């Protein structure tokens, strides 16, 4: 199975995040809409520009120059000192949102993530997922991202660096010659600045030139790094998304509907699909949930939700679905719905949970059924088997 890898890069992260934080704390001016920069201590004349607004960029201000030089280009530019706590806060918000899509996330830097979506696409495509993520980040968090899609990390990273901002780009192996080989050699990922002049001296000026170069000559000149450069130029990267296991505090899933739904029966069918996926992930983590939360977004972008405590903590698909169905039925008033979400909260490790004195034969039978289905999904893929209640509904939904 071909891997499905996504790279997410926040556009102008430091300035965007600081701008959002200011607005949320009562400031009226959005510094993204004026000449502004994020930098160090201006009084020392040694502070450098870490980030700049698009308007500041129009004055010729560039990242890395001193604030003193920036002021000469734009005397009225507003200067703000960076705040890592704010950056970390918004980085964590992005990470939490991405956990709705996959458990395999590598935080490459404070404003970049790799996602392995191979086992999480369900009936959707990687492009569908990317569009959902881009839209949610903008609407819920207030900033924009570039997203690169490919079958490995290298190509996904290269793709996300194409035209900005707020864009989604693909770079698959069949697109390398057209989209990557024409780029200047300095644009190749992980190529050091000192290496570029040496390659120029070898008449290697584009990534395509490097891809077609004699690999033995490159190894003789640069050692093992020569082989890596040649592989990268040819789109070869076998590295895994290096995600760190973190015991989740909640597990959720949501879906934007392909078309608005306005009948309870159809919403319940979508909810069953969400419940099955949430319960499946709970069991993979060996966690059980105490609380279930169901959320709805109307076609007019009004959000509301209900939550309820489970009779006993569980990762049982049937019990989670029945509780979520109960919550949906109690709050749905016939509105046209464009998004529905389900989240399991107040999680505990299954081994730490108390054994119910009221476990019935039916509950044990359901646990056995869930385990059997999980084993089949692990062996043959998530979509290898589905519950009867879900048959035929996938055409109405796009999973996140």
Supply the mean pLDDT for the chain. Answer: 87
| Span(s) in the chain for CATH 1.10.150.20 | 181-233
Phi, psi of 10 (to 5 degrees): -70, 130
E-assigned strand segments in the chain: 5-10, 36-39, 49-52, 78-81, 105-109, 112-116, 145-150, 168-170, 251-261, 287-298, 303-314, 337-349, 397-399
- State the pTM of this model: 0.74
What is the third-level CATH fold of 181-233? DNA polymerase; domain 1 (1.10.150)
Q: Would you call 65 a catalytic residue per the annotation? A: no
Task: Concatenate the DSSP letters of all residues of 298-356 into one string.
Answer: ETT--EEEEEEEEEEEE--HHHHHHHHHHHHHHH--S--EEEEEEEEEEEEEGGGSPPP
User: CA Rg, the chain, in Å?
Assistant: 25
* pLDDT of 380: 55
Helical (H) or strand (E) element with 201: helix 195-201
Class of domain 251-399: alpha beta
| Span(s) in the chain for CATH 3.30.1490.100 | 251-399
Strand partners, 38: 51, 80
Longest Cα separation, the chain:
78
| Gap between the Cα atoms of 347 and 282, Å rounded | 9
% of the chain beyond a pLDDT of 90: 62
pLDDT tens for 371-381 read 666 666 555 55
pLDDT tens for 240-264 read 999 876 677 888 888 878 789 998 9
What 8-state DSSP symbol labels residue 265?
H
Residue range 24-44: average pLDDT?
Answer: 88
* pLDDT of 290: 93
Q: Kindly indicate the confidence band of residue 11, based on its pLDDT and cuts at 50, 70 and 90.
A: very high
| Span(s) in the chain for CATH 3.40.1170.60 | 15-84
Q: Kindly indicate the confidence band of residue 365, based on its pLDDT and cuts at 50, 70 and 90.
A: low
Say which range, 49-53, 123-127, 128-132, 198-202, has the weakest mean pLDDT: 123-127
What's the order of all strands across the beta sheet hosting 303-314? Answer: 303-314, 287-298, 337-349, 251-261, 397-399
Asked, as a colleague might, if the bond just before 165 is cis with ω within 30 of 0, I would say yes
27, 28, 112, 378: which is the annotated catalytic residue?
112
pLDDT tens for 89-115 read 999 999 989 988 888 999 999 999 999
What is the third-level CATH fold of 15-84? MutS, DNA mismatch repair protein, domain I (3.40.1170)
* pLDDT of 121: 81
């Amino acid at each position: 199975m071909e891997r499905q890898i996504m790279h997410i890069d926040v556009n102008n992260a430091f300035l965007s995040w600081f701008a959002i934080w200011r607005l949320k704390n009562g400031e009226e001016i959005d510094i993204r809409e004026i000449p502004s920069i994020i930098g160090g201590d201006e009084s020392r004349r040694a502070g450098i520009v870490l980030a700049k607004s698009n308007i500041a960029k129009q004055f010729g201000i560039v990242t890395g120059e001193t604030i003193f030089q920036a002021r000469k280009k734009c005397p009225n530019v507003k200067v703000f000192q960076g705040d890592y706590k704010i950056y970390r806060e918004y980085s964590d918000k992005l990470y939490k949102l991405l956990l709705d899509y996959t458990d395999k996330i590598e935080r490459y830097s404070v404003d970049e993530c790799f996602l392995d979506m191979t086992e999480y696409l369900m009936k959707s495509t990687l492009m569908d997922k990317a569009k959902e993520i881009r839209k949610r980040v903008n609407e819920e968090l207030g900033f924009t991202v570039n997203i690169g899609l490919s079958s490995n990390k290298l190509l996904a990273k290269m793709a996300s660096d194409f035209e900005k901002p707020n864009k989604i780009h693909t770079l698959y192996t069949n697109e390398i010659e057209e989209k990557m080989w024409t780029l200047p050699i300095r644009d190749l990922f992980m190529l050091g600045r000192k290496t570029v002049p040496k390659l120029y001296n070898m008449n290697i000026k584009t990534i395509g030139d490097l891809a077609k170069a004699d690999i033995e000559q490159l190894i003789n000149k640069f050692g093992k790094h020569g082989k890596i450069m040649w592989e990268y130029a040819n789109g070869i990267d076998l590295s895994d998304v290096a995600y760190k296991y973190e015991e989740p505090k909640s597990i959720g899933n949501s879906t934007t509907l392909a078309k608005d739904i306005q009948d309870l029966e159809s919403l319940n069918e979508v909810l069953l699909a969400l419940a099955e996926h949430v319960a499946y992930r709970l069991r993979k983590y060996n966690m059980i949930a105490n609380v279930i939360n169901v959320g709805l977004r109307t076609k007019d972008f009004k959000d509301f939700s209900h939550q309820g405590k489970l009779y006993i903590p569980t990762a049982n698909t049937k019990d989670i679905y029945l509780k979520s169905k109960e919550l949906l039925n109690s709050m749905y008033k016939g509105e046209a719905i464009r998004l529905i979400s389900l989240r399991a909260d107040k999680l505990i490790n299954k081994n730490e949970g108390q054994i119910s004195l009221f476990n019935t034969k039916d509950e044990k039978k359901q646990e056995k059924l869930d385990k059997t289905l999980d084993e089949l999904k692990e062996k043959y893929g998530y979509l290898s088997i589905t519950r009867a209640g879900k048959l035929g509904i996938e055409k109405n939904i796009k999973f996140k």
